[in-house]
Amino acid sequence: MSGRERVVFFALIAVAIVCFLIIAYKLNQRISVLIPDQGGSLHEGVIGQPHFINPVLAIADPDRDMTSLVYAGLMRPDGNGGLVPELAERYEISEDGLSYVFYVRKGAEFQDGKNVTVDDVIFTIETAKNPIVKSPMRAGWEGVEIEKIDDKTLKFWLKRPYAPFLENTTIGILPKHIWKNIPIEQLNLSELNLSPVGAGPYKISKSFKNGSGLTSLTLNSFSNYVLGEPYIGKIVFNFYPSEVELLNAYQNGDIDSISAVSPQNLAKITRRDGDIKSMNLPRIFGTFFNQNEKPIFLEKPVRQALEMSIDKKQIVRDVLGGYAKEISSPIPEGSFGAIALTESEFNLDKAKTLLEKNGWKFSQEKMIYMKEEKKQATKELSFSISTSNAPDLIRTANILKSSWEKLGAKVDVKVFEISDLNQNVIRSRKYDALLFGEVVGRDPDPFAFWHSSQRNDPGLNIALYTSSKVDKILEEARRLVSREDRAKKYEDFQKEVQADSPSIFLYSPSFIYILPKKIKGVDTEDIVTPSERFANIYKWYIDTKYVWKILHKNN
């Protein structure tokens, strides 16, 4: 061939190759699907540092974060308000709700290669029940008996039906062969609490400490995790003493993700490579009236007028930056059993009229409402509101104070450190009104918060609420196995509480989590504790790959 013919020939060959590649690429796309692939890493910042990476001892958020990654339970939160089997292959509940049978997966193993057996489950629960350990999980297991059927089957026996029992089985399982030789009195002193071995999706590979304690942990994916090896191969956690230092590290690019950020600090973040994910938390915040300390709260019209003078939208907007929902019920929207109730009306004039219709008169001299009654001292609409030293709660308390002073009340805000508030104010019930929060839970059991038997410490009825009708409803609800029947009882309970107005329910906050845009597969919406943001972490991914659809379906 001549030179010109050769040029044309090779040009045609090149065109043919390009066309072939394009056709092959298009064909491959049509018969292939893009799926997650192994690889990538995540660097996350956490406020505080873990001391007990141990499901029996974990009490602080950093403890629970690491525990949720390293350990696996019989059941696991699904990230959308429910539970799914984890170490359990399946479970059965008796018709009377008194027994639960669990079947442990045959392939379940710990990160050291040892098999998970019923003996490990029993050892973990018996350790949690031991009063010497002082486990925060102990209360949920009191009165529960355990029967070993074989190495992979066990049965729990309850003295009486308790519908939320299944929640207890999310406790991470300790490997008995590692912990059995640790004296029970020295459990919380063991070095194993910071070098744990579990059966969860991630295992600890490196740790760094300085004079003030643990500064970072590196976790690698566990290839034999029962729900499948996580796609993200490595997660590095850096620990910071304060939110200020956490935010600085994020702004400087030292970490990729942060959580539990206060809404007012979100506006200060200038990085734009992250996605803000707002998750629902079954928590409520409200003002609880102590009628024993302040007799004016015995009057229902007073409690109603105080609620009517509060603009809850202002609190959600100005304090929480919109990352919360207004509530008018002890069970927040999105939680099991929640119902739509009549929203409280914000009307200052109507609130004043309500007071005046019930004998209260505004004193121009003292600039507050007062009430005279025969043979009794003159009452004043004057009281204090106690809360903890947290920015959101302090700002909310000051909005309440301002609103109630516009109504015609005299209000004093008292701020306490959380330990002092719990020990010397709440436990002793020494408050007029208390601005505080309650964790409702995935499967709510309002008994502890609203039954009259729980009015005194260690009960959690901080409104000191008494209602024989509500007591009966809550007692019956606890014994019902059927979710439908229990939901109806919760509906009746909420209607009764709203009618009685023992408290002012203000808001249910969202949990704020900032993740890099590169992280995909995060479909978690509803969590009970901050650590549950990792509920579906084994499904998160960064890298992807194409596989033929037929092969993907077969897998």
275's enclosing H/E stretch is strand 274-280
- More confident call, 277 vs 4: 277
Angle, alpha carbons 290-295-300 (nearest 5°):
80
Q: Lowest-confidence range among 28-32, 61-65, 195-199, 211-215?
A: 28-32
Is the pLDDT score of 465 beyond 70?
yes
Residue with tokens 């436990």: 427
- More confident call, 256 vs 443: 256
What per-residue confidence (pLDDT) applies to 89? 97
pLDDT in tens, 166-180: 999 999 999 999 999
Q: pTM score > 0.95 for this model?
A: no
The domain 41-257+519-554 is placed in CATH, from the list 3.40.50.1980, 3.30.420.10, 3.40.190.10, 2.60.40.10, at 3.40.190.10
Is the pLDDT score of 553 beyond 60?
no
Is the pLDDT score of 355 beyond 70?
yes
Is the pLDDT score of 554 beyond 50?
no
Average pLDDT score over the chain: 91
For 278, the token pair is 């707002």
Q: How far apart are CA 540 and CA 63, in angstroms?
A: 22
Q: Stretch 382-387: mean pLDDT, rounded?
A: 97
For 276, the token pair is 């803000």
Is the pLDDT score of 87 beyond 80?
yes
What per-residue confidence (pLDDT) applies to 2? 67
- More confident call, 255 vs 9: 255
Q: Lowest-confidence range among 32-36, 74-78, 426-430?
A: 32-36
Angle, alpha carbons 42-43-44 (nearest 5°):
115
Is the pLDDT score of 123 beyond 60?
yes
For 456, the token pair is 């005194």
The CATH number of the domain covering residues in 283-510: 3.10.105.10
Q: Are 69 and 533 in contact (CB under 8 A)?
A: no
What per-residue confidence (pLDDT) applies to 376? 81
Is the pLDDT score of 555 beyond 50?
no
Is the pLDDT score of 33 beyond 80?
no
Q: How far apart are CA 468 and CA 136, in angstroms?
A: 30
Q: Lowest-confidence range among 102-116, 152-166, 394-408?
A: 152-166
Domains 41-257+519-554 and 283-510 share a fold: no
What per-residue confidence (pLDDT) applies to 537? 97
What per-residue confidence (pLDDT) applies to 31? 66
Residue 438: closest CA among 508, 388, 500 = 508
Is the pLDDT score of 482 beyond 90?
no
Residue 183: is the preceding peptide bond cis (ω within 30°)?
Answer: no
What per-residue confidence (pLDDT) applies to 1? 63
Q: What are the DSSP calls for 404-465, one per residue?
A: HHHHT-EEEEEEE-HHHIIIIIITTT--SEEEEEEE-TTTT-THHHH-GGGSSTTS--TT--
The 8 Å CB, 24+ separation contacts for 145-150 are 146/121, 146/122, 148/118, 148/119, 148/122, 149/101, 149/118, 150/118
Q: Are 28 and 546 in contact (CB under 8 A)?
A: yes
- 88-121 burial: b if 16+ Cβ within 10 Å, else e: bbebeeeeebbebbbbbbeebbbbeeebbbbebb
Q: What are the DSSP calls for 474-540, one per residue?
A: HHHHHH---HHHHHHHHHHHHHHHHHH--EEEEEEEEEEEEEETT-B-----B-SSGGGGGTTGGG-
Q: Stretch 30-38: mean pLDDT, rounded?
A: 81
pLDDT over 90, % of the chain? 72
Domain ranges of the chain: 3-37, 41-257+519-554, 283-510
The band of 23, judged by pLDDT with boundaries at 50, 70 and 90, is confident
